[in-house]
Structure 1
Amino acid sequence: MAGHSKWANIKHRKGAQDAKRGKIFTKLIKEITVASKEGGPDVDTNPRLRLAIQNAKGQNMPKDTIERAVNKGQGSDAANYEELTYEGYASNGVAVFVECSTDNINRTVSNVRAIFTKNGGSLGKNGSVEFLFDRKGVFNFPIPEGMDIEELELEMIDGGADDLEIEEERVTVYCAMEEFGNLQNKLESMNIEPETAELQRIPTTSVTLDNEAFQKVMKAIDSLEDDDDVQKVFHNMEITEEQMDLL
């Protein structure tokens, strides 16, 4: 179970995005608002809202900010957001999958296409890169105090996990998308509250680039993440320790 890091896209982005906390809050607020509008304000009957609030708390979002976002979703002036995905290739053949939430589709597709093109890539059709990723649940939390690692691994397997990584006193647990709810319930039964719990797109194959090419692709990815309509960006670059330091 424990071992190599097959998904650098999660870890390295966490550190890089710490400097973008305002942007992170904006995206989390939008997710809370959409979840509240679509499924109601009660976290006990709205698992999407429950998850969104959990992730917001993991980013230390103030309680009153969370409450305002929930209430906004119940208001008559709440925006009608539509969820869209875009797929394409950045420069050097790097596959990129973009998840968006927007109240203006024309604006969003125009911005996303422009970012791809400006940075030497191209926006593709739906399905052009989706097959290069597996959809998995990913949970991240500190190692529970006093818990034996082997015991934790066995509990996670029992809850539906198919991989687990331990690094610097932190645990990252992966599961099939279908097991997301089961693993979430298992963590709750163990009184473990993840700092992040989300569905990620894990690449099945990866591309290795030199530092110059890597920085060019990262410029495009950063531009996508900076767009207010973009919620998440996934790619299939294999990132070295040296390249992480460049960020």
Structure 2
Amino acid sequence: MAASATLQRTPVRYQQLLLASALASKGSASCLSALGPPYLLGRALHITGAIPAGHNKWSKVKNIKGPRDAKRSQIFQKLSMMLRFAVREGGPDPELNSNLANIIERCRNSNMPKTTIEMAIKGVDKEKSSNYLLYTARGPGGSALIIEILTDNTRRTQQEIRLLLSRKGAVMTDGVRHLFDQKGVVTVSRKDREQRSVSLEQALELAVEAGAEDVQESEDEEEQEVLKFLCDVSVLHQVRKKLDAQGLQSLSAGLEFIPNTTVELSEEEMKQASELLMGLGNCQDVIRIYDNIQ
């Protein structure tokens, strides 16, 4: 499939979100309940925020970092949970466990100490078994949310998220999953191995050669510019290998939910949405949040 540049910049709306985020309260540590059996997403855990083209204004709110003043220890705690879950599901050898290898990469990119990574991997037997859950909800202005959860206490997490949603004008629903497509996503540094900046046009050409469908501009947890290459789930690792061979620096590869339709919010709804997302981001059990806000 030919790649297409779908990125649209909206500076005015971006400034409005930054203002809304500044006004938003931090929100309590809370999480969300599922309707019926939770949907299990192939057990592919990763923490990069899913930022569709034109959605860079959400990157500071949506990723695991939560509010801009979130403590690094919270990031490391979530990463440690993900490491232990990956080990429990696929074993401690990253050579044989691609999910674990991807999470270790994210840990390194977040400057997580090597000793902390090793302790998390070795501490699997000492921790309670965690459950990976996927919850869906309707947010302000009819926006759709998909929330990834990793918890050792499902009942507690459901109660916390239900309470947070009710306080922020959101409700649980099972009718939004069809608004998102599951895609393979390879995240690479905006600079290649020779430290040359890669333009969106160049990235689109590389995407065609590697077998990716599209490219999106975004930011990581450290607010560094990155490029996200979208592809079919079945060719995810093939695309990553080709991008590495083309001289790009891949940071992670995993599955994400990409919205196939978006909604536009008013300024007041935008403020409510930013408060909701920051509250969810502060929840220890929330791994990642997706939305379809334009």
TM-score range, shorter chain: 0.7 to 0.9
- TM-score normalised by the chain length of structure 2: 0.71
Residues of 2 paired with 1:18 and 1:140: CA distance?
Answer: 22
From 123, 136, 141, the equivalent of 2:189 is: 141
Q: For residue 26 of structure 2, what is the aligned residue in structure 1? A: none
Residues of 1 paired with 2:198 and 2:251: CA distance?
Answer: 20
Residues of 2 paired with 1:7 and 1:70: CA distance?
Answer: 37
Higher relative contact order (CA 8 A, sep 6+): 2
Q: For residue 245 of structure 1, what is the aligned residue in structure 2? A: none
Check 1:165–1:143 CA distance in 2 against 1; reply closer, same or farther (3 A cut).
Answer: farther
From 245, 250, 262, the equivalent of 1:194 is: 250
Matched, 1:217 2:273: yes
Matched, 1:236 2:278: no
Matched, 1:161 2:212: yes
Larger displacement relative to structure 2 (184-193 or 203-212): 184-193
Residues of 1 paired with 2:117 and 2:162: CA distance?
Answer: 32
Question: Residue deviations 1:44-87, cap 9 Å, x none?
Answer: 100000010111111111111111111112xx322201111111
Q: For residue 178 of structure 2, what is the aligned residue in structure 1? A: 131
Aligned 8 A contact 1:35 1:48 in 2: yes
Aligned 8 A contact 1:58 1:196 in 2: no
Structure with more of its chain in helix, by fraction: 1
Q: For residue 181 of structure 1, what is the aligned residue in structure 2? A: 237
From 11, 28, 50, the equivalent of 2:59 is: 11
Residues of 2 paired with 1:95 and 1:156: CA distance?
Answer: 28
What's the offset of the Cα at 1:156? 3.0
From 84, 92, 95, the equivalent of 1:44 is: 95
Question: Residue deviations 1:228-247, cap 9 Å, x none?
Answer: 11111111111xxxxxxxxx
Structure with more of its chain in strand, by fraction: 1
SS in 2 for 1:140: strand
Matched, 1:118 2:167: yes
Aligned 8 A contact 1:117 1:123 in 2: no
What's the offset of the Cα at 1:194? 2.4
Aligned positions, number: 234
Aligned Cα root-mean-square deviation (Å) = 2.6
SS in 1 for 2:250: coil
Residues of 2 paired with 1:169 and 1:110: CA distance?
Answer: 36
What's the offset of the Cα at 1:226? 1.1
Residues of 1 paired with 2:270 and 2:134: CA distance?
Answer: 23
What's the offset of the Cα at 1:213? 1.3
Q: For residue 203 of structure 1, what is the aligned residue in structure 2? A: 259
Residues of 1 paired with 2:132 and 2:226: CA distance?
Answer: 32
What's the offset of the Cα at 1:204? 1.1
